[in-house]
Amino acid sequence: MRDSIGGIKHPAYRDALALTRQGGREATGRYLVEDLDLVQQALDSPSPVFAVFVASDAAARTVEAACTARNVPLYILSGSGLITKLVGTGYETAVTAVAVVGQSLLSLDQLVAGMPPDALILAGERIQDPRNVGVLIRTADAVGAHALLLSADSAEPFSRQAVRSTTGSLLRLPICLAADLPAALRRLRDERGARIAVSSGRAPAVAFDTDLAARPLALLVGNEQRGASDTVIAEATDFVRLPMGPQTKADSLNVTVAAGALLYEAVRQRLAADPLPTRDSI
């Protein structure tokens, strides 16, 4: 279906506008993806897409075939400023398309039951910056992780800042929000035999000297300022750190850099133990 919208009173537009607020996203289980490239990714992804809004006929022509194939309503916004209201800023004039997408959330039961034997899971505790949440999603997707497990008190992964930082990975990587993260890690360990490697600058073992080739494996990074809590560390089978340079005055790494280093070390060790074809792209 293709239609034109000239004002904010259109029901589909009002529904989409509600998703610019966290309460609207939580109530509906939907969020907004913006930019033509990411809208095209959404239409090509396994995520449900409920509507697409475009600001021009040219943008409509780009996505119309995919919308038709998936039976997704396509709306051309003819009213002044309508696309700007959906992206929430007055200066992002380059945005010409927005999609309403269903959140890919796993319950803890689904995560535990559906975890494959070779799963690699990235976990985060109290990650407060939504951009860091987005980059964690992007990095986990890049290494082929099974899911991102976040404590529920982390920044919302479906906010505009987080979604933009994922560059589309949120469309492919399932997210599990745990109200009790230590209990979630315990279930992964006790019910599925997962190794739980928690990263901290206080850890005695260096990650590069630790067996991270275990399958399944959950790698956890902690809060940007305080690191991993004692209750999370208590669930770890491995307590590891990334080595700092001998002359550096830096006392820590950005949480997303640390997560990337740990994930790729785990991938490196897995490939060394059991070489598999990989796509050579970073």
Percent of the chain clearing pLDDT 70 (strictly above): 94
Output the pLDDT for position 282: 37
Lowest mean pLDDT among 41-45, 53-57, 199-203, 220-224: 199-203
- Distance, in Å, from the CA atom of 4 to the CA atom of 88, rounded to the nearest integer, reads 21
| pLDDT above 90 for 89 | no
Q: What is the 8-class DSSP label of residue 54?
A: E
Confidence of residue 18 (pLDDT cuts 50, 70, 90): very high
Please count the helices (runs of H) and the strands (runs of E) in the chain.
Answer: 11, 13
Looking at the structure, tell me whether residues 117 and 248 fall in a common domain: yes
- Distance, in Å, from the CA atom of 259 to the CA atom of 228, rounded to the nearest integer, reads 13
Quote the number of domains for the chain.
2
Looking at the structure, tell me whether residues 215 and 95 fall in a common domain: no
Closest CA to 277 of 93, 144, 102: 144
Residue 155 domain-assigned (yes or no): yes
| pLDDT above 50 for 131 | yes
Please tell me whether the overall predicted TM-score, pTM, comes out greater than 0.85 for this model.
yes
Domain that holds residue 20: 2-102
Confidence of residue 80 (pLDDT cuts 50, 70, 90): confident
- Distance, in Å, from the CA atom of 100 to the CA atom of 110, rounded to the nearest integer, reads 24
Closest CA to 154 of 132, 183, 139, 174: 132
Confidence of residue 92 (pLDDT cuts 50, 70, 90): very low
Looking at the structure, tell me whether residues 126 and 207 fall in a common domain: yes
Looking at the structure, tell me whether residues 192 and 222 fall in a common domain: yes
| pLDDT above 50 for 160 | yes
- Among 80, 102, 124, identify where a domain stops: 102
- Among 52, 76, 102, identify where a domain stops: 102
Give 240's strand partners: 199, 205
Output the pLDDT for position 250: 66
Confidence of residue 279 (pLDDT cuts 50, 70, 90): very low
Q: Which residue has the tokens 């930019």?
A: 35
- Among 49, 78, 102, identify where a domain stops: 102
Output the pLDDT for position 245: 74
